[in-house]
Amino acid sequence: MNVLFSFALFLCVLWGVTAKQEEMAATNIRNMNARQIIRFFGYPSETHTILTPDGYLLELHRISRGRNGQSNPNLPPVLIQHGLVESSGTFLIIGPDDALPCLLADLGFDVWLGNSRGNKYSRGHVTVDPDKFEFWNYTYHEAAINDLPAEIDFVLEKTNREKLIYVGHSMGTTMYFILLSMLPEYNEKIELGVMMAPVAYMYHCKSLFIQAVAPFAHLVNLVIAARIGEFLPNNKFLGSVRELVCGSSVLNRDLCGTLLNLVVGDDPRAYSPEFMKILVNHGPEGYSFLTILHYGQFVTTGEYELLYTKKTMLGRDSQKRRFVFRLAFLDRFGMLDYGTLGNLRQYGVPYPPDYDLDQITVPTLLYAGQSDNLADLTDVMRLTEKVPSVKRLFVVEESKFGHMDFLISDNVKELLNDYVIADIMEHLGQNATGEAYVNNNEL
């Protein structure tokens, strides 16, 4: 149940099969890691291992120049951070002509792909065994204040630059907002923040997975006491489950698609069996159970019925009484809620503090999809009110553009990445393609 439920989280954000997905499926990238994919596409590839302040070992993948040797020393380096249950590889699998890291490298940017603690590229620690609970005793909060500073400082030192451009998708955006709220000195190290499918406020989140977790999201202390750490181990057993559920046959494709259909309602027939196997080879990645609970604490969960039995004083037949209550969390973006006593121990106050988004001064661009079940457009618009340095909200025209379409849509270049690049180059005072700059929502 644990494996299937976690697998559904990854599948719930996938969309449909396309011509370019089929083209990638025809290659051999299914069995390649991110480093090999970069080389296969014709780019130079470097791998760097860095150490976080709390002892985690993270792997960075670097594309230092374009396929034809393009390199522009006047451009700042770019750090790209993946989302929940993803890795650096998920930014690449749509192919070199459409993937944002490749497009940026071909323009001369020095591109770095981060990997958060816990995924297959960053499953190491100087003292703690990744099979132990202690390795997984964190949420995206710890990743934000430890992983991102280590990555940013390393990239700036390696490139001898003072600032970089930060691109985040999903949880990569959550970490950005937390970092600049908690460690505002890092505002001086980021030239521009590009937030794709930004996840912070989640009051309107429609993900059935997160909504299912939300009623239990307050059980943080129980999870810690039970030492429930990694929610989705990336091992041979899970690999066998992936092959079984999402194999190459139409029957297995429908089985995998049906699981997806239960979460987001997509048509199972819209998926290519072969490309789906590429996707699941690059996710879902390992992550901590506490991270999921942290997200779940900020979702409205709806109405639930509570039944309880009460006996009369004379010991007669018990009477059943029905109560209907609404379990709803405030529309807020804050630290992990450990309960009143736990919060007093952790924070010195009975409630978890909210992140102070007023601390963010980096020019920030938001990119949203109209059919994103995780980063709902209403919640993204809330960020335009809360983050004072937001300069633009771009809403993708395609009405069915969802959470993973930011990475694997057949038309991601035309619908999104061309606009992202134009926005970046306009901020830098340069012209990427010579085409007219298009801006659909300037704040």
Nearest by Cα to 239 from 299, 180, 283, 189: 283
What the block records as the tokens of 144 is 């934000």
Supply the DSSP symbol for 416: I
Q: How far apart are the first and last CA of the chain?
A: 45
Selected catalytic residue, list 82, 141, 169, 403: 403
Nearest by Cα to 174 from 101, 284, 86: 86
Helices and strands, counts by H and E, the chain: 18, 11
According to DSSP, the β-strands at 56-63 and 111-113 are antiparallel
Selected catalytic residue, list 6, 87, 122, 170: 170
Supply the DSSP symbol for 413: I
Handedness of CA 112, 90, 107, 80 (dihedral sign): negative
The residues near 106 (Cβ < 8 Å, ≥ 6 apart) are: 66, 67, 68, 70
141 has catalytic annotation: no
Q: How far apart are CA 169 and CA 167, in angstroms?
A: 7
Question: How many CB atoms lie under 10 A from the CB of residue 434?
Answer: 5
Q: What is the largest CA-CA distance in the chain?
A: 88
Contact 93, 282 (CB under 8 A): yes
Selected catalytic residue, list 106, 110, 147, 372: 372
Would you list the DSSP string of 138-181?
Answer: --HHHIIIIIHHHHHHHHHHHHT-S-EEEEEETHHHHHHHHHHH
318 has catalytic annotation: no
The residues near 77 (Cβ < 8 Å, ≥ 6 apart) are: 109, 110, 111, 112, 155, 156, 159, 161, 164, 165
Nearest by Cα to 205 from 174, 163, 165: 174
403 has catalytic annotation: yes
Active site residues: 170, 372, 403
